[in-house]
Structure 1
């Protein structure tokens, strides 16, 4: 809020009409005033005990005659109403700052339309979070997993993840951000790639890709018009084997035991999202990796001798 009212009696005195003209004038000029006024009108509809000035005066005289040290001039109901205002304003603040959150599960895809009509196609086990109320001033969202973004032109658009940041104006791009792995492919327009410390890493244009893995950067080009995973097939070029296995786990309800294989290898190829047996064959057969299923349905991977 623009100003914090540290005086505990301020709201109560305002409700009771006991502010000085100077205090009231300054209060009305504040950005907070309209919010307080709106909630106060609602509070006026609450049922509160009637305040009898004569009875209050008589009680005051009795207190004086008893030499009471502290005299309460503001009725208790005014403090109650002020407390209601504080609670209501806290709720209003919470609702105004609430984030919108979308998440996919194993093998799921979800298309999300953002407030500016930009679209985000989430791949399996991915999520985005953004504040819809502030979107027109701050087109920024938090992201994890894999997604394809089709961004409407406008103010700067930022995708923030634990692995890095992508900043654009209007473009199409694909992002993967998972466990120390960060990959961006630009399908249209121009993309700026930054690390989590806001330092520039790369500028990408149509058909350019960039990857950070284990603190190593890699650039390459591609020719496909859209990500193949949208059509039900994940494709990879020189991809760390660990990331390919993670992609299989994201698309199928399975877990892998990777303790018996060499993960320091790269995979170029693809696998289908519609047939687990075929997907396992197309990934592990050319890699000379045997796979068997244990009793707990974990797939054990083992390098061939």
Structure 2
């Protein structure tokens, strides 16, 4: 048996999902081992599994909603032993619908997991899985602020968003000093979908709910209004991620020429922490000092953004 890149240990009940993972890894130039592909009719199943485990560079222990199968439990025990003896890398893979490693697989708690979330249509999960298998860190555009529509298809842009949904504001920053989330190739009839990031030290990533709107500002300019697409918060080593779509971005090409944020907001935020700030919070003093009515503020912002689009 020739050496392969990753052994896909899985419960047979999860076979359709594993086949899709197998296909995606092959497209990325990775050589996975999957029993139904590699075991010839008439082969001794147990013997071939043991042989494959010995030839493995990496093991992806795929955990679905049915948890570990009987064969998978034995494979996992063997790989955990090999991780100590031969430095075989183990990657727990949480399939759609699985939020954490189950108690039945407690031995995997010591290994950094890859989590797919709700579906397998998750580009950053595959990027992380590729990194774990190959040991080569790929370019991770979803980890940096200028993401260009990573996975979901962009939807028609909502020109007339509901201003009463504007409930949050957040300061964003690109580490390079450029504009964060300056999405490439944006068409006016499309709403770009991307992942908004919070650093590990930031707070409030889970506060907005699906449908809520958040204002993003940076370098003293308002640059986005985004709508949260779901309630899921994905925890990564570097921080937290949420799927959003931009329902408003400036049409003006030179963002440095945008008006100061105070003109759009009616006040100037006194923070740059990357936290989620809720306009309804009694502790948001700079907002409270400028506005006594949240509704007045929401409609004021919507009107100012419309004026800006018409310039």
Give the alignment's TM-score, normalised by structure 2: 0.27
Larger radius of gyration: 1
TM-score by length of 1: 0.27
**Structure that is richer in helix per residue:** 2
Structure with a larger share of its residues in strand: 1
Higher relative contact order, chain-length normalized (CA < 8 Å, sep 6+):
2
